[in-house]
Structure 1
Amino acid sequence: METLLLGLAVLACPVGMGVMMWMMARGHRQGCDQGSDKEQQIALLRAEIDQLKAERAADRTRSES
């Protein structure tokens, strides 16, 4: 009986690590599906940056005049 408990204790770590790796890989695959959402957000942010740069340039030309 003691040998069985010792064997279970020795196997607990590798089995637990395997389960954690499987769960993390599963979560990563689900996260990859949201790549298009991220690309849309990046495009919107870039457009906003361009708009802010244009506003800043317009403000500079007004202040120089």
Structure 2
Amino acid sequence: MGLLALDIVLWLIRGHIPRFDDFQPLPVAPVSAGGRLVRAFAAMITIFAALSLAVWVTVWLAIALF
């Protein structure tokens, strides 16, 4: 009941509160082969950077603790 009262107050203050069914889906643009290649390359770089950082932190902690 409290949420209904809050919803009514917000509706009176701000006007219409959009619901999920008020939004129309955006059209999906076709992805070219070049776009897939760039995405795959960016994912590989991100994974390599994360793994390198994890190894660096592990070695740094091992050196610092011992």
Match of 1:44 in 2: 45
Q: Which has the higher helix share?
A: 1
Aligned-pair Cα RMSD in Å: 1.2
CA distance in 1, matches of 2:43, 2:57: 21
| Structure-2-length-normalised TM-score | 0.53
Runs of 4+ residues deviating >3 angstroms: none
Match of 2:64 in 1: 63
Greater relative contact order (Cα < 8 A, sep 6+): 2
Report how far residue 36 of structure 1 moved: 1.4
Stretches of structure 2 that go unaligned for 5 or more consecutive residues are: 1-26
Please identify the structure whose Cα radius of gyration is greater: 1
Identity %: 3
SS at match of 1:38: helix
Stretches of structure 1 that go unaligned for 5 or more consecutive residues are: 1-23
